[in-house]
């Protein structure tokens, strides 16, 4: 059945329709055209809120090694990746700059993606949501990316137009699909970088060294909003849920609350659906929606430095500054949010003091982020777009990275006859005392990071967990996947 979004339920994001003129009778050649009546004082153009500006959060620079990069021998490359952290610097004529999948997987202790327990075990879906069409071939770029780094690629399932379920007749391999609301939508070069980053990150971090068509891994679907409007992206998000996605990655946001999105997130959370939403906190040192939603995992950003064996050397909040002013950095801060009807969710809102006075009930603010990960463009992630390599950073990298981690958790849960995670399960686990040993706690006190509203660097949440204002609960350390799998 064709699924559409009933926009009448979301009046806060609809653009106003132009007022229509009263109909008039056409004049005959023997009579003068009658004067039309002026509009009465009760006739007016309906007032609605304008569409909020939705922006992506990726920072792009062309790879300085561009002219030296060539396609490597896949088997030889796989061995080099296993042996050294800086394989791309050991063989500069082969590998691109920027962190590789192997480096990120090791730094954050990603578990290996398991094989299906049985041929009939469900293979979960990871959804990547972005605006507009891809300028070029999203699948072709992903395949080249995988070949370069010596990892398998998914089968190409093609484009699904306004579909509500996966097609019949699929083999037992992981597939890559693109979902579009209509057969033709406009391409956008800026959002193409976003889509390349999201799909290549989300897929690559589920893979072990290898070549050819993957046998392990999730299905991955790139959901295209027809534009960057809130209503278009919400259509794509809702389509992802309808298609059965268990993790939805959203590397975009706006500086205002969007009630229609919140209604969708709330409905899914209230129904305890087995779907988790992850959103980038932003790149401008401010809070952004939907990462500020109580029903969304907010993904913040760090500056990550590695040891020679790929393990973490240091990790702090990612920012750049001019004098005492932060001019760029991972999204952080708070945004007033409505109190939820489920008090459990309010536990995760990490209300902190503002000038010494607690925020009043009814003006509950969800702090961002919840978890963080590498986002600094000074290291960045190697990404392939339209026959060129780029180094891309921003919290747009962190959202698909965390989504990839969670989809591995879900496959392990399915293999053990458990349901996939709900948002409430995920957030409850992350904000529990028992999970804190699985997280790398970041101390930004002495690294030059300015204070927020003259508040301490860390605060305590309503259930007694330490929360750092720039990086939330921290980054993945170890055993987090085990905690989530055992829920």
For residues 338-349, average pLDDT: 52
**pLDDT (0 to 100) of residue 133:** 97
The conformational region for residue 53 under phi > 0 = left, psi -120 to 50 = alpha, else beta, is beta
Distances (CA, A) of 301 to 281, 317, 367, 397, 474: 8, 6, 14, 9, 10
What average pLDDT does range 301-305 have in this prediction? 90
94 or 367, higher pLDDT: 367
Please tell me which residue, 346 or 242, carries the higher pLDDT value: 242
Cut 0.85: pTM above it: no
Q: What is the mean pLDDT of residues 461-483?
A: 84
Q: Which range, of 7-16, 96-105, 213-222, 419-428, averages the lowest pLDDT?
A: 7-16
The residue ranking higher by pLDDT, 213 or 345, is 213
Element (H, E) at 74: helix 74-83
- Degrees (nearest 5) of the Cα angle 436, 441, 446? 155
Q: What's the whole-number mean pLDDT along residues 421-441? A: 90
Task: Give the model's confidence band at 338: pLDDT under 50 very low, under 70 low, under 90 confident, else very high.
Answer: low
- 8 A C-beta contact, residue 266 and residue 340: yes
Does the bond joining 265 to the residue before it have cis omega, within 30 degrees of 0? no
pLDDT at 282: 84
Give the model's pLDDT for residue 341.
46
Q: Does the pLDDT of residue 267 top 80, yes or no? A: yes
Cα 300 to Cα 1, 175, 280, 402, 468: the distances in Å are 38, 29, 6, 10, 11
Q: What is the pLDDT of residue 27?
A: 40
- Mean per-residue pLDDT, 332-357: 48
Other beta carbons less than 10 A from residue 106's beta carbon: 19
* pLDDT for the residue numbered 371: 93
HSE, CB side, 13 Å, CA atoms: give it for residue 251: 37
pLDDT tens digits, 382-423: 999 998 999 998 889 999 999 999 999 999 999 999 999 999
389 DSSP β-pair partners: 384
Structural domains of the chain, ranges and CATH numbers in brackets: 55-485 (3.40.50.200)
**How far, in whole angstroms, is CA 109 from its chain's centroid?**
20
């Amino acid at each position: 059945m064709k699924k559409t979004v009933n926009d009448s339920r979301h009046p806060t994001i609809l653009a106003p329709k132009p007022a229509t003129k009263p109909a008039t009778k056409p004049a005959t050649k023997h009579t003068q055209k009658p004067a039309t009546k002026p509009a009465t004082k009760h006739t007016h153009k309906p007032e609605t809120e304008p569409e909020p500006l939705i922006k992506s959060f990726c920072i792009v620079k062309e790879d300085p090694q561009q002219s030296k990069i060539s396609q490597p021998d896949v088997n030889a490359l796989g061995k080099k990746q296993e042996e050294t952290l800086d394989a791309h610097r050991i063989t500069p004529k082969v590998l691109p700059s920027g962190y590789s999948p192997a480096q990120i997987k090791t730094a954050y202790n990603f578990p290996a993606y398991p094989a299906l327990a049985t041929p009939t075990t469900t293979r979960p879906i990871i959804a990547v949501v972005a605006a507009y069409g891809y300028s070029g071939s999203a699948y072709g770029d992903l395949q080249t990316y995988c070949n370069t780094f010596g990892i398998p690629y998914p089968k190409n399932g093609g484009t699904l137009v306004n579909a509500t379920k996966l097609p019949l007749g699929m083999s037992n391999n992981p597939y890559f699909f693109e979902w579009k609301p209509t057969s033709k939508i406009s391409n956008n070069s800026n959002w193409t970088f976003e889509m390349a980053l999201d799909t290549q990150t989300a897929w690559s971090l589920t893979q072990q060294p290898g070549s050819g068509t993957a046998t392990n891994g999730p299905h991955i679907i790139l959901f295209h909003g027809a534009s960057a409007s809130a209503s278009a992206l919400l259509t794509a998000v809702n389509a992802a849920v309808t298609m059965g996605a268990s993790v939805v990655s959203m590397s975009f946001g706006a500086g205002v609350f969007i009630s229609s999105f919140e209604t969708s997130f709330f409905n899914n959370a209230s129904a305890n659906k087995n779907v988790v939403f992850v959103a980038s906190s932003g790149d401008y040192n401010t809070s952004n929606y939907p990462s500020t939603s109580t029903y969304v995992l907010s993904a913040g950003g760090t500056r990550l430095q590695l040891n020679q064996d790929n393990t973490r050397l240091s990790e702090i909040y990612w920012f750049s500054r001019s004098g005492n002013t932060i001019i760029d950095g991972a999204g952080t801060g708070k945004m007033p949010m409505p109190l939820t009807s489920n008090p459990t969710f309010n536990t995760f809102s990490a209300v902190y003091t503002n000038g010494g006075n607690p925020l009043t009930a009814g003006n509950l603010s969800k702090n961002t982020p919840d978890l963080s990960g590498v986002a600094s463009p000074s290291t960045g992630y190697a990404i392939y777009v339209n026959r060129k390599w780029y180094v891309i950073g921003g919290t747009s990298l962190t959202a698909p990275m965390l989504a990839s981690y969670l989809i591995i958790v879900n496959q392990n849960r399915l293999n053990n006859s458990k349901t996939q995670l709900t948002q409430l399960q995920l957030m409850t686990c992350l904000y529990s005392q028992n999970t804190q040993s699985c997280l790398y706690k970041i101390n930004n006190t002495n690294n030059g990071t300015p204070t927020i509203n003259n508040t301490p660097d860390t605060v305590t949440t309503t259930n007694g967990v330490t929360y750092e204002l720039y990086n939330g609960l921290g980054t993945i350390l170890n055993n987090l996947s085990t905690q989530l799998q055992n829920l």
